[in-house]
Homo-oligomer: A and B are copies of this chain.
Amino acid sequence: MLHVDRIADLRAACERARAAGQRVGVVPTMGYLHDGHRSLIRAARGDTGFVVVTIFVNPLQFGANEDLDRYPRDLEGDLALCSAEGVDCVFAPSVAEMYPRPPATTVHVAGLTSDLCGAARPTHFDGVTTVVTKLFAIAGPCAAYFGRKDAQQLAVVTRLVDDLDLPVEIIGCPIVREGDGLAMSSRNAYLSPADRAAAPTLYRGLVRAVELIQAGERDPDQVTVSVRDAVAAEPRFTLEYAELRDAHDLAPAAALDGSLLLAVAAHIGGTRLIDNVHLRVDGDDVVADLGVRRDVKGAPAPA
C-alpha cells in the first residue's frame, strides 16, 4: 500500500493507475476510520482497480466554534485498516500541503446547502465542496464513494459534480449502524457511556416513523412530529431538526410520495449527531432504506 502526503505524489499515482488501464476509486474521509468507511472502501474495491483513501481533517468545513481541534485522529489505526482492506493508496496530507496559503477560492452550491445541516453550520458545505473539488482535481477521473449518513453532503456533492461536469461518478453507500442501531460516526467517540446508551434514540425515532408510514400515515407533519416526539422523550437530547424532504433537491416534501429523505439532527452531551432514512413511497408501497447493521458477530446485516 502506497502512503503519500504530497499532492504531486497522489496525482502521479492516479495517473499511473489510469495509464495501466485501472479505474480509480476515491474514498474521501477525515480519518478515524470505522466500519462505515470500511464499507465505502469495500464498495470502491468492488468497482475499481486502484482504491485511494484520502484522510484530511479539513479546517474549511469546521465553524469557528466547532470541534476542529478535538476531532479524533488515529493515522496509525487508519493505515492498518486501509492495508487490511486492500487499499492501494492512502493520501494523508498536512494542512500546509493542502492550503500553503489561505485559499482565496471557494466552491459554493446554492440552495441545497442553505438549510438542514447548513442552517446550523453556515460555512460547512462550502468547506466540503471546496476541498472535494480540489481532491477530485488531484485524483483525476474517478468514482468517489460517500456514505448516505451524510445525506445532504451526498446531494450537494452530486450537484457539484453535475454542475461543473467534473469527471467523477458519485456513489452513495448505505449507512452502517452499530448493533443497537446507532449510525456509525467518528464523532461517536465523544459520547460518554450514558450518552452512548441513549444515542440510538435517533435511530429508533426513524424506525417508529417508518412503521407509522407503513401502517398508512400519509401526513408529512405527523411523520416528523413522531420523530420529534421520540427525540423529546430522551432528555439527554436537544433536537436541531427533524425534516421530511425530497431526496434529490432536499425541498420540503408536500406529500408522502416519491423518493424522500427523513432526516434528523440532535445534540447530546455537546456532540452533534445526525441520522436519516431514505424512503420510496408509491401508493401503499413503502420501501425504507435504513442501511445495514453490524450484528453481534461484526458482519453487516440489513438494519
Contacts and interface: CB of A to CB of B under 8 A. Distances in A.
Contacts of A130: 164
Nearest to A163: B105
B108 A137 contact: no
A107 B105 contact: yes
B137 A104 contact: no
Interface string A157-172: 0011001111100000
A253 interface: no
B105 A164 contact: yes
A137 B109 contact: no
A7 B137 CA distance: 18
Contacts of A129: 105
28 contacts: A7-B165, A11-B165, A11-B167, A104-B109, A104-B110, A104-B111, A104-B112, A104-B159, A104-B163, A105-B107, A105-B108, A105-B109, A105-B110, A105-B159, A105-B160, A105-B164, A106-B107, A106-B110, A107-B108, A107-B164, A133-B133, A133-B164, A134-B164, A137-B164, A137-B166, A137-B167, A138-B165, A140-B141
